[in-house]
């Protein structure tokens, strides 16, 4: 365990920050701009994982295990979320013959 | 041997019984049976009062029936106070009441609702008896309101006429305006003394210093109540309108008894008034002004009952003037004699109206002294009495008031004497126009039946000899009534009149002489009239003003009625229509409008939601960063 | 046990009516029997009452939130129970001559509301109070919605939302108060009254509590639901609203404001009294010019309620006792007045007084009954309204003489509008409806009105029978108040 933390500490914290910022931005841009739901879900995953990366990094640098616990928690929730999201996606595909996110506005009353 | 308490209970109970029996059986009672029963019951009450009076030993007896309102330290008993003052009033109410009840049998004989009439007349007697017998302000107030309600009912007895209804309502509402003062005075006295019973209140008040603001406030408020009930300025315009009621009602309620309730109340509270010279001045001048007001307006009335109504207003003014100078016994004496001669005048007028088949306009009368002889003679007696011709009753009572006023305030005396001359003038104008000259109407006058003329004769005798009750010292009398009332009222006991005997003689002689001259003057103008001018259109301004009752009715319509109606309408349309209701509806509308705005955001575009979410996060971040 | 029976008897009767939908005659009979039974029960409670607070049932319900099922009553609660017990037989009886809609349903709804009202006046736990407080509204909501007059939907919904708003403020306050109690939290009134809240809390809490009761009574300026609702509602609904439900406001003021935030109440006292008196005068003036008899009575009710509210807030013995006493008197009066308005509507087919007039010639007995009721309405002495008015004015003067002087014109205004209404309906020349086939008040109507009028006089002559109920409790209340400055 300690060796892992040492390994993480080899790279300076700033690099983790920049990387996760870039990943998060890519995810956010994708989620906002793309219309394919599949891509949007993938982008959401990307954002979550960028946060996970940051959490692990901070956890290692601060010597606090809480961050890593939180990462497991997020992974769990992400898995559940993807399950629901993909289920919606499958139904959308069956009903509309497409995966365009804007067709979801038909759900509005 | 019936106990005193039972007798005292019987006095109001008998008329109440009459109300219930006649009222509930009104389909079965005729004028004779219903009227007979009502008269008998009031006569019974009179006998009970007489018995009580004969047994009276000069003390004060409280007849406690039950505790009426009890709460914490408040205990208001329902009890009667039997003393000289209440006994005297009971005798007047039941005595004059009996006569008028009997008279009504004849007067109301052909009215389809005659039983209702007698039920209400009995109810009035009951309420009036509670008023005078109450041992505390609140029991008096029961009667006070009760007579007001009966007055309302009886003025509007012929209910299909909207004007009569209006007159009834006007009477009740104006009385209520006065009652505000009465209620407030009772509250004030109760909170100050912890009781409203007359005996302890007067006892505790007597120990207070004169000119105490509390006493002044209480006396002023009580006087406001009295002005309403006794038709004094400024609350008097209801009384002439109240003549809409049947004539016996005018005689009983609006001449002999109810309207003197205010005087009774002030005499009951004489201890308070003696402590408040400031209020006494107000009472004096209100009385004097009312006496003059009534006398001047009476000159120009053409309705026989309206003349008498203004005359009542004026005479009540005399009584208040007497109270204002602290001459309580003189006031009560005038209450007594006035009850006799004014009831007689009204009943006489009723007899005339009856004789002429409902005609009330004196311009269409005349020459009736031959056709209605008994009525004429009794009416003449009453007129002489009210004008103050010795040795009739009115001379003694009015002279008492004038003498006391002269000793206290010569200015007031001068006005009152002037009003007395006007009294003689309008009363003899009425007498001459009605009974002298030649008949100007179209009906066939006939004398009234015995059941109506006998009461007239009884009252005429009383009006003639009533003065004997209180013959002043200057005539060698011993002022019996004053001594009687002095046992019940500290105010009466404290009275004194220090005028030289010669001054008193001089005053009497000069007044009497002037009155006789006025009567002669009236004879020259009205005595031989066969025709009468129409409306006084071409009169000078002052005369026109007086003929229109000093514009008092118009003033009230303009100052009170119209603004109130306006306020009621506009408060409704504005307050409710423009403020209260729109406020609630506006709240609802605003909520709906806001919803309309916000629902645009809910476009259903998922990207837009996401964008919103991101934007929100960014904004929150920025806020956190900037505020840090 | 009797306490639970008071809630359950009307509930059971209502459920039977709902479930079996019997014919009109049976339905009314059952409803009347059940209300008479509850009336006898309240009389029994009164007869056996010894002067102390009685707790009949105390069970835990949701302990975590301090909710307990506690039923009991003191003198003031008993007065309200008597009022409810006394008036409901008459309200149900109104349905015999003036039926609306499906008898089984209407009576069931009325009984539901009676059950809830009994609950309100017996609840000794704030949450329980709140639940009954809102529950009583629901049957009336349906009554109005189904059988109201013109614009019934709009008016009913406004009325419902308005009173609900007050209710929510009350719920919020109760939740807040419960959290202030030491753990384990309790919303019992005894626990809430034991709270010694800081002054600044009391100052705002007063308003959130007062809002609910001010709307319920209602007093100016929270009244705008009232005139239209009273006018539109079927007679029985109006009676429940004005005669009984308005009194929940008065009761709530005593229970919550005096019991829990006395210092805050004392602080806002002058303001609230001024508001109440203005409202009373305002309604009294407006009543004069109303053409609709029911609306006139509605405004007169508001005028009376304003005076009662002002008297309660004097926070002295005379004022509070007078206000509570008058609650009973006013309830009886309202049933009488609305019943007579209903009688007139039944005969003339209108509430518009402009179209009546001269009816006395055709209906002398009705005129006499109306006159007796008017006598009570203008508080003639020896009718029941007078002792209350006397006490209330004493209370007001004791606090500040000017308050009594501002309020006293009410006795004139009352005479002005009531006598004017009486004249327009019954006296004068026959109006356009006088030509109809009008029959005088009949036996059934006498059967309902005469006992009520008799009560007016009996209570007016012996007001102590009612006053002794509130005497001791009011003095207990007075001890809660901060000493006068």
Q: Are residues C71 and C209 in the same domain?
A: yes
Predicted model pTM: 0.87
Residue-level pLDDT at C340: 93
Top residue of B602, B607, B611, B617 to mutate, by most chain A CBs within 10 Å, is B607
Residue-level pLDDT at C485: 46
Record: contact A32-B607, CB cut-off 8 A: yes
Residue-level pLDDT at C251: 92
Q: Report the run of H or E that residue B560 belongs to, with start and end.
A: none
Record: contact A101-B607, CB cut-off 8 A: yes
Measuring CA to CA, how many Å separate B460 from each of B68, B106, B343?
Answer: 42, 18, 10
Residue-level pLDDT at C38: 94
Q: Is C390 on the interface with B (CB under 8 A)?
A: yes
**pLDDT of C343 higher than 50:** yes
CB B211 within 8 A of CB B204: no
> Taking CB atoms and an 8 Å cutoff, what residues of chain B touch C427?
156, 159-160, 162, 165
Could you tell me which of C248, C230, C423, C249 has the C-alpha nearest to residue C334? C230
> Taking CB atoms and an 8 Å cutoff, what residues of chain A touch B605?
102, 105
For residue B363, how many other CB atoms are within 10 A of its CB? 16
Q: Which residues pair with C292 in a beta bridge?
A: C352
Any idea which architecture A2-107 has in CATH? Orthogonal Bundle (1.10)
Task: Reduce the DSSP state of residue B30 to 3 states and report it.
Answer: coil
Q: Does chain A reach chain C with at least 3 CB pairs under 8 Å?
A: no
H helix count then E strand count, chain C: 22, 2
Task: Reduce the DSSP state of residue A107 to 3 states and report it.
Answer: helix
Residues A64-80: tens digit of each pLDDT: 888 889 999 999 999 99
Q: Are residues C46 and C183 in the same domain?
A: yes
Q: Are residues C229 and C348 in the same domain?
A: no
CB A8 within 8 A of CB A56: yes
Query: CA Rg, chain C, in Å?
Result: 21
Domain that holds residue C456: 312-485
Residue-level pLDDT at B533: 54
> Taking CB atoms and an 8 Å cutoff, what residues of chain A touch B607?
32-33, 35, 101-102
> Taking CB atoms and an 8 Å cutoff, what residues of chain C touch B591?
none
Does residue C226 lie within any of the structural domains? yes
**pLDDT of C468 higher than 90:** no
Residues C430-453: tens digit of each pLDDT: 878 777 778 888 888 889 999 999
Res. A108 pLDDT band, cuts 50 70 90: low
Percentage of chain C with pLDDT > 90?
54
**pLDDT of C237 higher than 60:** yes
Top residue of C164, C221, C394, C453 to mutate, by most chain B CBs within 10 Å, is C394
Q: Output the CA angle C68-C71-C74, nearest 5 degrees.
A: 130
Residues B20-30: tens digit of each pLDDT: 999 888 888 88
Does residue C291 lie within any of the structural domains? no
CA distance B601 to chain A (A): 12
- Which bin fits C101, alpha (ψ -120 to 50), beta or left (φ > 0)? left
> Taking CB atoms and an 8 Å cutoff, what residues of chain B touch A105?
603-606
Residue-level pLDDT at B534: 47
CA distance A44 to chain B (A): 11
What average pLDDT score do residues C236-259 get?
Answer: 91
Record: contact A102-B606, CB cut-off 8 A: yes
Residue-level pLDDT at C452: 92
Q: Domain boundaries in chain A?
A: 2-107
Backbone angles phi, psi at C60, to 5 degrees: -70, 150
Record: contact B607-A105, CB cut-off 8 A: no
Record: contact B605-A102, CB cut-off 8 A: yes
Nearest CA in chain A to B609: A32
Residue-level pLDDT at B236: 86
CA distance B286 to A87: 98
Residue-level pLDDT at C483: 60
Nearest by CB: A107 against B604, B610, B614:
B604
Q: Domain boundaries in chain B?
A: 276-547, 554-627
Record: contact C428-B162, CB cut-off 8 A: yes
Residue-level pLDDT at B621: 92
Residue-level pLDDT at C226: 87
Percentage of chain B with pLDDT > 90?
36
CB B406 within 8 A of CB B507: yes
Q: Is B604 on the interface with A (CB under 8 A)?
A: yes
Chain centre distance of CA B603: 78
What average pLDDT score do residues C393-409 get?
Answer: 92
Record: contact C412-B576, CB cut-off 8 A: no
Record: contact A104-B614, CB cut-off 8 A: no
CA distance B172 to chain C (A): 8
Residue-level pLDDT at B532: 58
Which residue pairs, CB below 8 angstroms and at least 24 apart, start in C59-64? C61/C128, C63/C184, C64/C184, C64/C185
* Cβ-proximal residues to C186 (8 Å cutoff; 6+ apart), any chain: C66, C68, C178, C192
CA distance A33 to A20: 20
End-to-end CA distance of chain B: 103
**pLDDT of C101 higher than 90:** no
Residues C150-202: tens digit of each pLDDT: 788 888 888 888 888 889 999 999 999 988 888 788 888 888 888 888 889 99
Q: Which residues pair with B197 in a beta bridge?
A: B136
For chain A, the 3-state helix, strand and coil shares in percent, each to the nearest 5, are 85, 0, 10
Record: contact B173-C415, CB cut-off 8 A: yes
Could you tell me which of B416, B332, B414, B340 has the C-alpha nearest to residue B383? B340
Residue-level pLDDT at B265: 93
Nearest CA in chain A to B618: A28
Q: Report the run of H or E that residue C225 belongs to, with start and end.
A: none
Res. A3 pLDDT band, cuts 50 70 90: confident
Q: Which chain B residues in 209-228 lie under 8 Å from chain C, judged by CB atoms? A: none
Res. B606 pLDDT band, cuts 50 70 90: confident
CA distance A99 to A109: 20
ipTM for the complex shown = 0.91
Nearest by CB: A105 against B604, B610, B614:
B604
What average pLDDT score do residues B58-71 get?
Answer: 88
Q: Which chain B residues in 125-144 lie under 8 Å from chain C, judged by CB atoms? A: 138, 141-142
Residues B72-110: tens digit of each pLDDT: 888 999 999 999 899 999 999 999 999 999 999 988 888
Task: Reduce the DSSP state of residue B516 to 3 states and report it.
Answer: helix
Which residue pairs, CB below 8 angstroms and at least 24 apart, start in C169-172? C169/C208, C169/C209, C169/C211, C169/C212, C170/C130, C170/C133, C170/C208, C170/C209, C170/C211, C170/C212, C170/C252, C170/C256, C171/C130, C172/C208
Does residue C97 lie within any of the structural domains? yes
Residues C106-141: tens digit of each pLDDT: 999 999 999 999 999 999 999 999 999 999 989 999
Q: Is B595 on the interface with A (CB under 8 A)?
A: no
Number of domains in chain C: 2
Q: Is B71 on the interface with C (CB under 8 A)?
A: yes
**pLDDT of C8 higher than 60:** yes
Q: Which chain C residues in 404-423 lie under 8 Å from chain B, judged by CB atoms? A: 404-405, 408-409, 411-412, 415-416, 419-420, 423
The residue count for chain B: 628
Average pLDDT, chain C: 89
Record: contact A104-B606, CB cut-off 8 A: yes
* Cβ-proximal residues to B340 (8 Å cutoff; 6+ apart), any chain: B96, B385, B393, B459, B462, B463, B466
Residues B310-322: tens digit of each pLDDT: 999 999 999 999 9
Question: Out of A93-107, C47-61, C137-151, C443-457, which region has the weakest mean confidence (pLDDT)?
Answer: A93-107
Q: Which of the two residues, C331 and C357, has the higher pLDDT score?
A: C331
Q: Which of the two residues, B565 and B266, has the higher pLDDT score?
A: B266
**pLDDT of C40 higher than 90:** yes
Does residue C271 lie within any of the structural domains? no
Q: Are residues C324 and C244 in the same domain?
A: no
Q: Is B190 on the interface with C (CB under 8 A)?
A: yes
Does residue C303 lie within any of the structural domains? no
**pLDDT of A107 higher than 80:** no
Q: Based on the number of CB atoms within 10 Å of its own CB, is B492 exposed (0-12), middle (13-18) or buried (19 or more)?
A: buried
Q: Which residues pair with B74 in a beta bridge?
A: B71
> Taking CB atoms and an 8 Å cutoff, what residues of chain B touch C290?
572
Q: Is C457 on the interface with B (CB under 8 A)?
A: no
Average pLDDT, chain B: 87
Q: Is B358 on the interface with A (CB under 8 A)?
A: no
Q: Which residues pair with B134 in a beta bridge?
A: B80
Most confidently predicted of B201-210, C35-44, C57-66: C35-44
Could you tell me which of B220, B196, B221, B193 has the C-alpha nearest to residue B207? B193
Residue-level pLDDT at C484: 53
Does residue C268 lie within any of the structural domains? no
Could you tell me which of B304, B305, B297 has the C-alpha nearest to residue B543? B297
Residue-level pLDDT at B530: 58
Question: Out of B429-438, C8-17, C33-42, which region has the weakest mean confidence (pLDDT)?
Answer: B429-438
Most confidently predicted of B133-137, B559-563, C350-354: B133-137
Q: Which residues pair with B604 in a beta bridge?
A: none
CA distance B578 to chain A (A): 37
Q: Is B590 on the interface with C (CB under 8 A)?
A: no
Residue-level pLDDT at B535: 45
Record: contact B179-C411, CB cut-off 8 A: yes
Q: Output the CA angle B275-B281-B287, nearest 5 degrees.
A: 120
């Amino acid at each position: 365990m300690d060796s892992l933390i040492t390994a993480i500490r080899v790279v300076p914290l700033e690099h983790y920050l920049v990387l996760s910022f870039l990943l998060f931005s890519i995810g956010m841009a994708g989620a906002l701009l793309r219309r394919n739901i599949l891509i949007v879900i993938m982008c959401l995953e990307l954002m979550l994982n960028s946060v996970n990366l940051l959490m692990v990094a901070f956890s290692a640098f601060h010597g606090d295990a809480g961050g890593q616990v939180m990462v497991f928690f997020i992974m769990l929730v992400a898995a559940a979320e993807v399950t629901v999201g993909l289920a919606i996606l499958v139904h959308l595909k069956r009903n509309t013959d497409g995966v365009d996110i804007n067709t979801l506005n038909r759900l509005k009353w | 041997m019936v106990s005193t308490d039972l007798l005292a209970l019987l006095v109001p109970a008998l008329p109440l019984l009459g109300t219930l029996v006649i009222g509930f059986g009104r389909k079965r009672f005729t004028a004779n049976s219903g009227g007979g029963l009502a008269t008998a019951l009031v006569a019974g009450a009179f006998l009970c009062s007489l018995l009580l009076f004969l047994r009276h030993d000069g003390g004060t007896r409280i007849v406690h029936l039950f505790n009426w309102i009890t709460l914490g330290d408040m205990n208001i008993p329902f009890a009667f106070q039997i003393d000289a003052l209440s006994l005297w009033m009971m005798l007047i109410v039941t005595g004059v009441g009996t006569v008028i009840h009997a008279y009504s049998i004849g007067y109301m004989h052909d009215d389809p609702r005659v039983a209702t009439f007698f039920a209400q007349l009995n109810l009035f007697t009951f309420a009036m008896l509670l008023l005078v017998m109450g041992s505390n302000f609140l029991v008096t107030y029961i009667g006070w309101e009760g007579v007001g309600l009966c007055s309302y009912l009886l003025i509007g007895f012929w209910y299909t006429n909207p004007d009569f209804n209006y007159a009834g309502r006007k009477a009740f509402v104006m009385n209520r305006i006065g009652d505000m003062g009465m209620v407030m005075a009772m509250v004030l006295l109760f909170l100050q003394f912890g009781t409203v019973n007359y005996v302890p209140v007067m006892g505790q008040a007597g120990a207070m210093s004169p000119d105490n603001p509390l006493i002044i406030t209480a006396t002023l408020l009580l006087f406001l109540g009295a002005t309403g009930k006794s038709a004094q300025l400024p609350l008097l315009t209801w009384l002439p309108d109240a003549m809409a009621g049947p004539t016996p009602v005018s005689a009983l309620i609006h001449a002999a008894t109810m309207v003197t309730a205010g005087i009774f109340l002030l005499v009951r509270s004489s201890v308070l008034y003696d402590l408040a010279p400031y209020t006494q001045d107000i009472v004096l001048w209100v009385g004097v002004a009312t006496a003059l007001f009534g006398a001047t307006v009476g000159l120009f009335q053409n309705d026989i009952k309206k003349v008498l109504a203004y005359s009542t207003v004026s005479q009540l003014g005399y009584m208040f003037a007497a109270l204002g100078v602290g001459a309580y016994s003189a006031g009560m004496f005038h209450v007594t004699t006035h009850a006799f001669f004014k009831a007689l005048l009204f009943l006489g007028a009723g007899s005339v109206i009856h004789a002429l088949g409902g005609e009330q306009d004196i311009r269409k009368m005349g020459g009736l002294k031959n056709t209605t002889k008994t009525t004429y003679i009794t009416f003449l007696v009453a007129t002489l009495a009210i004008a103050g011709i010795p040795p009739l009753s009115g001379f003694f009572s009015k002279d008492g008031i004038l003498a006391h006023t002269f000793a206290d305030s010569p200015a007031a005396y001068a006005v009152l004497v002037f009003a007395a001359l006007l009294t003689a003038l309008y009363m003899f104008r009425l007498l001459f126009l009605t009974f002298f000259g030649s008949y100007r109407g179209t009906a066939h006058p006939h004398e009234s039946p015995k059941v109506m003329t006998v009461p007239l004769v009884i009252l005429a005798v009383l009006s003639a000899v009533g003065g004997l009750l209180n013959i002043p010292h200057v005539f060698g009398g011993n002022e019996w009534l004053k001594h009687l009332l002095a046992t019940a009222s500290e105010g009466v006991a404290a009275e004194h009149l220090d005028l030289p005997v010669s001054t008193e003689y001089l005053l009497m002689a000069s007044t009497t002489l002037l009155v006789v001259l006025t009567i002669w003057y009236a004879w020259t103008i009205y005595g031989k009239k066969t025709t009468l001018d129409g409306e006084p259109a071409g009169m000078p301004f002052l005369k026109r003003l007086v003929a229109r009752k000093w514009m008092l009715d118009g003033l009230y319509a303009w100052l009170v009625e119209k603004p109130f109606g306006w306020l009621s309408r506009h408060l409704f349309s504005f307050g409710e229509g423009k403020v209260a209701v729109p406020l609630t509806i506006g709240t609802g509308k605003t909520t709906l409008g806001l919803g309309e705005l916000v629902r645009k955001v809910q476009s259903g575009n998922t990207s837009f939601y996401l964008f919103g979410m991101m934007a929100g996060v960014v904004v929150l971040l920025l806020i956190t960063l900037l505020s840090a | 046990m009797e306490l639970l029976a008071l809630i359950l008897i009307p509930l059971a009767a209502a459920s039977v009516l709902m479930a079996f939908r019997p014919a009109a005659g049976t339905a009314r009979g059952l409803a009347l029997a059940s209300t008479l039974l509850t009336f006898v029960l309240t009389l029994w409670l009164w007869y056996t009452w010894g002067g102390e607070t009685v707790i009949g049932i105390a069970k835990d319900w949701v302990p975590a939130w301090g909710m307990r099922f506690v039923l009991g009553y003191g003198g003031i609660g008993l007065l309200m129970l008597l009022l409810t017990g006394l008036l409901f037989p008459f309200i149900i009886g109104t349905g015999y001559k003036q039926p609306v809609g499906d008898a089984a349903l209407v009576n069931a709804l009325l009984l539901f509301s009676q059950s809830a009202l009994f609950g309100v006046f017996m609840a000794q736990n704030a949450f329980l109070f709140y639940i009954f407080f809102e529950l009583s509204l629901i049957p009336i909501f349906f009554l109005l919605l189904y059988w109201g007059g013109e614009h019934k939907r709009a008016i009913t919904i406004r009325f419902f939302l308005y009173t609900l708003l007050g209710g929510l403020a009350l719920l919020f306050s109760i939740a807040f108060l419960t959290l202030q109690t030491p753990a384990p939290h309790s919303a019992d009134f005894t626990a809430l009254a034991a709270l010694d809240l800081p002054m600044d809390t009391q100052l705002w809490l007063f308003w959130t509590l007062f809002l609910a009761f001010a709307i319920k009574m209602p007093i100016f300026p929270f009244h705008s639901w009232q005139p239209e609702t009273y006018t539109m509602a079927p007679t029985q609904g109006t009676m429940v609203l004005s005669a009984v439900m308005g009194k929940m406001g008065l009761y709530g003021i005593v229970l919550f404001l005096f019991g829990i935030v006395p210092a805050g109440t004392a602080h806002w006292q002058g303001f609230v009294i001024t508001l109440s008196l203005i409202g009373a005068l305002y309604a009294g003036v407006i009543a004069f010019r109303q053409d609709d008899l029911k609306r006139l009575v509605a405004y007169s009710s508001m005028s009376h309620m304003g005076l009662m509210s002002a008297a309660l807030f004097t926070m002295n013995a005379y004022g509070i006792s007078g206000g509570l006493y008058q609650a009973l008197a006013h309830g009886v009066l309202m049933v009488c007045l609305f019943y007579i308005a209903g009688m007139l509507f039944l005969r003339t087919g209108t509430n518009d007084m402009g179209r009546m007039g001269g009816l006395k010639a055709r209906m002398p007995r009705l005129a006499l009954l109306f006159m007796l009721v008017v006598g009570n309405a203008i508080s003639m002495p020896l009718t029941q309204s007078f002792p209350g008015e006397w006490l209330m004015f004493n209370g007001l003067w004791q606090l500040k003489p000017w308050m009594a002087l501002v309020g006293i014109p009410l006795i004139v205004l009352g005479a002005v509008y009531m006598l004017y209404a009486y004249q327009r309906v019954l006296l004068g020349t026959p109006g356009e409806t006088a030509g109809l086939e009008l029959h005088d008040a009949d036996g059934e109507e006498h059967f309902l009105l005469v006992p009520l009028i008799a009560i007016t006089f009996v209570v007016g002559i012996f007001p102590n029978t009612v006053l002794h109920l509130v005497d001791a409790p009011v003095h207990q209340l007075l001890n809660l108040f901060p000493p006068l400055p």
